[in-house]
A = this chain, B = another copy of it.
Amino acid sequence: AIAEAIFRHLAPRATPLAGRHALVTAGPTHEPIDPVRYLANRSSGRQGYEIAGALAALGARVTLVSGPVDLPAPPGVALRRVETASQMLAACRDALPADIAVCAAAVADWRVAQEATRKIKKAQGAPPPVLALVPNPDILAELSTPGPDRPALVVGFAAETDSVAQHAAAKRARKGCDWIVANDVRPETGIMGGMENEVILITADGAEQWPRMDKRAVATHLAGRIAAFFTAQRSIA
């Protein structure tokens, strides 16, 4: 930490995000059905944790709001652990204001309408229960909504299994975020749960296919692009 402080002092240009606050979400959410059952989304959390670490390495103050995964907080990152989408939204609101929001979490779109406080019993011969679902809060859309607390740059993620670039571009427009990092999570790609990622970056200028690389390299590239966005803003001002 001392070495890092000296390094930052000697090489201020290596910390282009100094003075910026970045909010990053990562991991899945778990939506309880009863005390022993839940609905979940697949997400290792690795890509979000790497992005949090890469932004911190560029000098940003980073708050990482993470669903249930078993990863250590990257150096210099403040970690807030949550379980459900509602808790994740609350933790994000608490973390504002932020200059940057990167929503890498795989938030469950739905939760069960009524969480049972006791374990639902399997009745002999009775038909299985039907799970009535209700929509979860849309964290990316809420963070993207214009207003005094909107981060200057909001980046969403889109995990798709078909028509990746089209679905992602439509998502960017629908959510009102600035960029979308899209990837193809069909099981045969091995990306979900794996160490590598192959993404398309969707911005107002169009779609940019990045080569397949490990998740740390994707994070470093993305953090570099984010730093360039703020450096460009600074030069204009």
Question: Smallest distance from the beta carbon of A45 to chain B beta carbons, Å?
Answer: 12
Within the assembled complex, what's the spacing in Å between the Cα atoms of A226 and B92? 50
Q: Would you list which residues of chain A between 20 and 74 have a CB under 8 Å from chain B?
A: 30, 33, 35-42, 70
Within the assembled complex, what's the spacing in Å between the Cα atoms of A131 and B132? 7
Does B128 lie within 8 Å of A36, measured CB to CB? no
Q: Would you list which residues of chain A between 141 and 174 have a CB under 8 Å from chain B?
A: 159-162, 167, 174
Question: Smallest distance from the beta carbon of A40 to chain B beta carbons, Å?
Answer: 5
Question: Smallest distance from the beta carbon of A142 to chain B beta carbons, Å?
Answer: 15
Q: Which residues of B contact A124 (CB under 8 A)?
A: 174
Indicate whether A11 reaches chain B with its CB closer than 8 angstroms: no
Indicate whether A221 reaches chain B with its CB closer than 8 angstroms: no
Q: Which residues of B contact A121 (CB under 8 A)?
A: 167
Indicate whether A234 reaches chain B with its CB closer than 8 angstroms: no
Does B35 lie within 8 Å of A37, measured CB to CB? no
Q: Which residues of B contact A196 (CB under 8 A)?
A: none
Interface residues on A, range: 35 or more
**With A109-B122, A122-B109, A174-B124 in contact, is A36–B159 under 8 Å at CB?**
yes
**With A109-B122, A119-B160, A159-B119 in contact, is A185–B35 under 8 Å at CB?**
yes
Q: Which residues of B contact A35 (CB under 8 A)?
A: 42, 161, 185-187, 192
Does A185 lie within 8 Å of B36, measured CB to CB? yes
Chain B CB within 10 A, most for which of A35, A118, A134 = A35
Q: How would residues 107 to 130 of chain A score, 1 for a CB under 8 Å from any chain B CB and 0 otherwise?
A: 011100000001101101000111
Question: Smallest distance from the beta carbon of A166 to chain B beta carbons, Å?
Answer: 12
B109, B118, B122, B133: which contacts A130 (Cβ < 8 A)?
Answer: B133
6 tightest A-B CB contacts, nearest first = A128-B133, A131-B131, A119-B161, A109-B122, A110-B128, A118-B161
**Taking beta carbons and an 8 Å cutoff, which residues of A are in contact with B?**
30, 33, 35-42, 70, 106, 108-110, 118-119, 121-122, 124, 128-135, 159-162, 167, 174, 185-187, 192
A to B CB contacts below 8 Å, 13 in the list: A30-B40, A35-B192, A36-B42, A37-B42, A38-B39, A38-B40, A39-B39, A40-B40, A109-B122, A118-B161, A124-B174, A129-B133, A130-B131
